[in-house]
Amino acid sequence: METPLSSRDEDAKTLDLPRGLAVGPRNKAAWDQPAARRQGLRVLHRLHRYGMSFGAPRVLPLEVRADFRLHDLDTVRWYLGHPFHTALAVLKGERILLEHYAADFGPDAIHSIQSITKTSVHLIAGRLIEEGRLDPTTRVGHYLPEIGSGYFEWPVQDLLDMAVVNDYSEDFYDPAATVGLLEDAHGWRIIEGRPHVDIRAFLKGIEGPGRRAGARTLDYKTANTDVLAWICELVSGVDLRDHYLHLVEAVGAESTVYLSTDRRGTPFAGGGLHMTLRDLARYGLLLARGGVGVDNSRADGPARVGSPAFRDATRAEYAAGTPSLLGRGNYRNFVETNGTWLGHNGYGGQWLMVFPEQEIVVACFSAVCDDGGQDWAFLERLATLGTDIAALLAT
């Protein structure tokens, strides 16, 4: 039996630290220890130091139309029986063809979607590129003169494709990786004895060569997404918080959606969204539709928060991205794609995969409980799961 998270924070040396955020073994927060991660991913929206929540004025209705053929797929059986499995939903349009929860989870429970959140900046930036307000060929320093050498000379497109090389590192199996400092900045851990800085102060402090040595390859950095989100806020003239409000309204979320922020209220665009499984599936449908969402006549925000043209250009030009760690397709414009589907992984085994033409959505919550929490072999099998589902539904 798992020990409750509230009693796991044995590494906290002082009682004034929020439970679950103190750093312990492996230089990870208590919620992120292997034995705690399954529960931690579900309560992070309550543990994080700072955050906000959103509700939509109109809910996108979903109809349950189970397709029992899906249970005959070997990859579906594998995943539903796997100890890392938490929840799986499959949509085709606004019909739920499969919905399954582990015994310790349920339809009303909130879960962190982690780096799937990066696709929100795919939507926001895509709309701004379509409108001519953001130029992906322009260097970051043009938009952010105060940014450090780690980003100043890099073109925006290299952020979108995770091709930036600098001193920031994101290996979750390396206790010394810089991502731990970013987690302190956005409130997912507390590092004792270190002055706290907000997200943007942290980003400004990233240094680096400002140039690429060798071929253009994938160098995955969550910091890239938060740098670009900052730029999107500046060029749009719209507060980043409002971009996320408009996004949740366009999703037509049924339940409250939570968003981690730093102490100044800056959203954590690299991984800060938390929601139910059905709302993740709704979000996937928004991604498949290029950001065209629910028409909220009572809301001030737009019903379109992305660009179908940018979605299609992303797929058409996927070869210009960087080779994916999934062993298939490329990373392009803050999504994984092989030219047909769009997807994104999240720390701990989260996976979202969409097939725009058929409006097929495959949404997974998982809890990888090894030391690092980022098992690419497991994620590759989730990608295979998605392609198997899409192939069956095409028949």
What DSSP letter does each residue of 107-175 carry, written as one string? TT--EE-GGGGGHHHHHHHHHHHHTTS--TTSBHHHH-TT--TTTTTSBHHHHHTT---SS----TT-T
pLDDT, residue 295, reads 76
pTM, to two decimals: 0.94
pLDDT, residue 210, reads 72
**Tens of pLDDT, residues 281-322:** 999 999 999 999 997 655 566 679 999 999 999 999 999 999
Sheet holding 322-323, edge to edge: 63-64, 95-101, 85-92, 360-366, 350-355, 342-346, 335-337, 330-332, 322-323
pLDDT, residue 1, reads 35
CB of 369 within 8 A of CB of 38? yes
Whole-angstrom Cα distance, residue 56 to residue 284? 16
Number of structural domains the chain divides into: 1
Portion of the chain with pLDDT greater than 70, in percent: 93
Checking if the pLDDT of 3 tops 90, the result is no
Instruction: Report residue 4's pLDDT band, with 50, 70 and 90 as the boundaries.
Output: very low
**Tens of pLDDT, residues 321-377:** 999 999 999 999 999 999 999 999 999 999 999 999 999 999 999 999 999 999 999
CB of 200 within 8 A of CB of 266? yes
The CATH number of the domain holding residue 298 is 3.40.710.10
Instruction: Report residue 2's pLDDT band, with 50, 70 and 90 as the boundaries.
Output: very low
The predicted model gives 119-132 an average pLDDT of 98
Burial (0-12, 13-18, 19+ Cβ within 10 Å), 103: exposed
Compute the Cα dihedral for 237, 55, 292, 278 and give only its sign. Answer: positive
Look-up of token digits 């890392």? 84
Q: ∠ CA 281-230-140 to the nearest 5 degrees?
A: 120
Instruction: Report residue 389's pLDDT band, with 50, 70 and 90 as the boundaries.
Output: very high
Residue 279 belongs to domain spanning: 5-393
Rg from Cα positions in the chain: 20
Lowest mean pLDDT among 70-74, 193-197, 359-363, 368-372: 193-197
CB of 12 within 8 A of CB of 30? yes
pLDDT, residue 318, reads 98
The predicted model gives 160-189 an average pLDDT of 97
Q: ∠ CA 200-115-278 to the nearest 5 degrees?
A: 125
What residue ranges in the chain does DSSP mark as E strands? Answer: 51-54, 63-64, 85-92, 95-101, 111-112, 257-260, 273-275, 322-323, 330-332, 335-337, 342-346, 350-355, 360-366
Checking if the pLDDT of 188 tops 80, the result is yes
Reference 206, options 168, 154, 239; nearest CA is 168
**Tens of pLDDT, residues 200-245:** 999 999 999 877 777 899 999 999 999 999 999 999 999 999 999 9
Portion of the chain with pLDDT greater than 90, in percent: 90
